């Protein structure tokens, strides 16, 4: 049965890409004292539930490969309005992921389960933060839900929020 209402609703729905970086597939088994006992599947289920409540379409992916994450970010330039990313260890090493995010210039929220600023010095620097709308670090899996709420709010009421993403700000300045 064709339902015109649903079809047009789907067309206007916000689409958000959620990316989990390396080793996050091991959540629930990996260093539980740092990352907790929740599995990635259960985090994704909570995100999907909240997305339904907010009428947002989320596309959730995990990869251990930097190149695959870069390809997905590049592809998100068409069809998505925002990105939530936990780049995991690539946070601290990947200029390629940072450059891909800057290139697509979509509002991006960086999420970390642990508080990276309280951990080893090599985790204190994020290559991603400078091109992100914001960073949520240290609140466990709730951080992903806050990121989705925040991004939804940002994308639904752009004029209310004066702050645009640093990447899109840079693009606007460059095109002047
Ligand atoms: C992490 C923090 C990173 O330093 C680490 O490499 C991860 C997970 C977090 O979610 O707390 O794999 O991004």
CA of 20 from ligand 1 middle (Å) equals 10
Q: Is 92 a catalytic residue?
A: no
Which tokens go with 59? 């596309």
The minimum-distance atom of ligand 1 relative to the CA of 89 is 6
**Furthest C-alpha separation in the chain:** 58
pLDDT tens digit at each of 176 positions of the chain? 334 444 445 557 999 999 999 999 999 999 999 999 999 999 999 999 999 999 999 999 999 999 999 999 999 999 999 999 999 999 999 999 999 999 999 999 999 999 999 999 999 999 999 999 999 999 999 999 999 999 999 999 855 544 555 555 555 544 44
Structure tokens at 150: 């925040």
Q: Is 139 in the pocket of ligand 1 (CB under 6 A)?
A: no
pLDDT score at 9: 52
Which of 57, 61, 54, 67 has the alpha carbon at shortest distance from 86? 61
Ligand 1 geometric centre to CA of 9 (Å): 36
Residue nearest to atom 12 of ligand 1 (CA): 88
Residue 132 burial (10 A CB sphere; 0-12, 13-18, 19+): buried
Report the pLDDT value the prediction gives residue 166, as an integer from 0 to 100: 57
Alpha-carbon separation of residue 152 from 34, 58, 78, 80, 145 (angstroms): 28, 11, 18, 12, 11
Environment class of 12 (CB within 10 Å of its CB; exposed 0-12, middle 13-18, buried 19+): exposed
Instruction: Return d(Cα 135, Cα 108) in angstroms, integer.
Output: 9
What is the Å distance from ligand 1's center to 86 Cα? Answer: 7
Residue nearest to atom 13 of ligand 1 (CA): 88
Tokens 């539980």 label which residue? 32
Alpha carbon nearest to ligand 1 atom 6, residue:
89
């Amino acid at each position: 049965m064709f339902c015109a209402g649903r079809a047009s609703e789907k067309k206007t729905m916000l689409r958000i890409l959620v990316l989990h970086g390396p080793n996050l597939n091991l959540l629930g088994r990996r260093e539980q004292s740092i990352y907790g006992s929740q599995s990635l599947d259960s985090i994704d289920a909570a995100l999907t539930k909240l997305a339904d409540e907010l009428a947002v379409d989320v596309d959730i992916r995990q990869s251990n490969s930097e190149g695959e994450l870069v390809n997905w970010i590049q592809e998100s330039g068409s069809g998505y309005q925002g990105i939530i990313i936990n780049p995991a260890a690539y946070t601290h090493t990947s200029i390629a992921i940072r450059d891909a995010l800057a290139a697509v210039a979509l509002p991006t929220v960086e999420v970390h389960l642990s508080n990276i600023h309280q951990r080893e010095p090599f985790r204190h620097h994020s290559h991603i933060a400078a091109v992100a709308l914001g960073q949520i670090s240290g609140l466990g899996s709730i951080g992903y839900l806050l990121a989705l709420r925040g991004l939804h709010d940002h994308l639904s009421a752009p004029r209310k929020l004066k702050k645009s993403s640093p990447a899109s700000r840079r693009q606007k300045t460059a095109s002047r």
